[in-house]
Amino acid sequence: MTETSGITVRFAERDDLDALAAIYAESFDDMQPRLAVEQYLRPPGTWALIALVHEPPHEMPAGFILTRNAADEAEIFSIGVARAFRRRGVGLALLDAMDGVAGVRGARTIYLEVGVDNRAARALYSKAGYEIIGERPDYYRNPGGNRVTALVLRRHLENIENRDSS
């Protein structure tokens, strides 16, 4: 579907579920990663992309994005990159590919929520051109049991060129 500097992004299929669950387990604190991924993908309009990093002669599953289109909006439920492949552009490649698919399926705006304390994800979304439009206090509970505020982020698909160049 897309191929940039050794990173291929394509639709995830049923056979990719184990790979998605393994990356999800590394990325989130969840005792049942496979079930979590399956549940995200159950409602109508949901879809997933998988990123593969080309390390000859192999293509290694490196990341995923779980999303949903509804009318002229899309929502990112979850994005995760395997630890071994972080800071190599996989997250950005997934967001780029998602733009294309979500747009073709009718989305004009993409929304997501991110923990206020999630430095890596906030930096990624900022680089991808997302803006903060609101917050939900005490939305998440972190592994230590503390409540964490979620920021609500949005990006208009017309603003694809509006990227932070830093």
Please report whether residue 4 would count as binding ligand COA according to CB under 6 A.
Answer: no
Sketch the per residue contact string, 126 through 155, with ligand COA: x for CB under 6 A, - otherwise: -x----------------------------
Single out the residue of 9, 20, 37, 79 in contact with ligand COA (rule: CB under 6 A). Answer: 79
Please report whether residue 109 would count as binding ligand COA according to CB under 6 A.
Answer: no
- At 35, the amino acid letter reads L
Report the run of H or E that residue 35 belongs to, with start and end. Answer: helix 33-40
Stretch that binds ligand COA, among 2-10, 82-90, 97-105, 136-144 (CB under 6 A): 82-90
Alpha-carbon gap, residue 62 to 85, rounded angstroms: 6
Rounded alpha-carbon distances, angstroms, from residue 124 to 44, 96, 127: 27, 12, 5
Sketch the per residue contact string, 38 through 77, with ligand COA: x for CB under 6 A, - otherwise: ----------------------------------------
Residue nearest to ligand COA (CB): 91
43, 19 in Cβ contact below 8 A? no
Stretch that binds ligand COA, among 13-21, 32-40, 90-98, 136-144 (CB under 6 A): 90-98
Q: Kindly state the DSSP code that residue 85 receives in the 8-state scheme.
A: G
Alpha-carbon gap, residue 78 to 62, rounded angstroms: 14
Rounded alpha-carbon distances, angstroms, from residue 63 to 81, 103, 134, 144: 4, 21, 27, 26
- In the complex, the residues that contact ligand COA under the rule CB under 6 A are 27, 79-81, 86-92, 114, 118-121, 123-124, 127
